[in-house]
Amino acid sequence: MAALLVVGLGNPGSEYEQTRHNVGFLVVDALCKRLRWQLRPGKGNHVEAAGHVEGKKLLLIKPMTYMNNSGQMVGDLVEEAGADLSEVLVVYDDLALPLGTLRVRSKGSDGGHNGVYSIVYHLNSNGFPRIRCGIRKEVMPTKHEMAGFVLSPFDREERPVVADMIARAADAVLEFVASGIARTMNKYNT
């Protein structure tokens, strides 16, 4: 078996660090902290941390291509690693879900998420597992407000909910590594 690839989506640069659109990056950072792994430049336009968990080789990845171009890097990495799509877990923010909600799926559409659209396009498939992390407030932003909303930081009162969601998403990634997507869906889609 090739390494399991966990790709957290986000945008590089300090101005995006704590924004809603960077939840995938925040989950990878939380996993690195928990596993005591160091992110290093990868061969390509990404940073990565690698090691073994539950006897399986695991590669944690943050694309440095900006959100809308994530797919090219993911496609190259999947091809280079010889990974089956069932071994590629993508973690990202989802405006369709209320703040703090997790949804784990074995496959699915891009749901209007440009980073996921790019991955689907470059893999020519939507058949990869994913963890969707809810970022929506009570009221859905209008189409005109969406870009500004996803690129805005979380409000102070939202941060405890976000911290809990990131910790649960990191737990879900480790469950995926240990037990596979079906058990992870059963455990985290409550």
pLDDT at residue 139 tops 90:
no
pLDDT at residue 14 tops 80:
yes
Q: What is the rounded average pLDDT for all residues in the chain?
A: 95
Task: Look at residue 140 in the predicted model and tell me its pLDDT.
Answer: 82
Average pLDDT over residues 9-19: 95
| CB distance 60 to 50 below 8 Å | yes
Q: Is 156 helix (H, G, I), strand (E, B) or coil?
A: helix
Domains defined for the chain, CATH in brackets: 4-188 (3.40.50.1470)
Nearest alpha-carbon partner for 87 in 130, 37, 132: 130
6-20, 35-49, 140-154: least confident range: 140-154
Task: Look at residue 1 in the predicted model and tell me its pLDDT.
Answer: 57
Distance between CA atoms of residues 146 and 125, nearest Å: 26
| CB distance 104 to 188 below 8 Å | yes
Average pLDDT over residues 66-87: 93
Average pLDDT over residues 20-25: 97
122 in active site: no
Task: Look at residue 190 in the predicted model and tell me its pLDDT.
Answer: 72
pLDDT at residue 138 tops 90:
no
Average pLDDT over residues 123-152: 92
Residue 131 phi/psi, 5-degree rounding, is -120, 115
What pTM, to 2 d.p., does this model score? 0.96
| CB distance 119 to 73 below 8 Å | no
Task: Look at residue 18 in the predicted model and tell me its pLDDT.
Answer: 92
**Catalytic-role residue among 21, 46, 113, 122:** 21
Task: Look at residue 81 in the predicted model and tell me its pLDDT.
Answer: 86
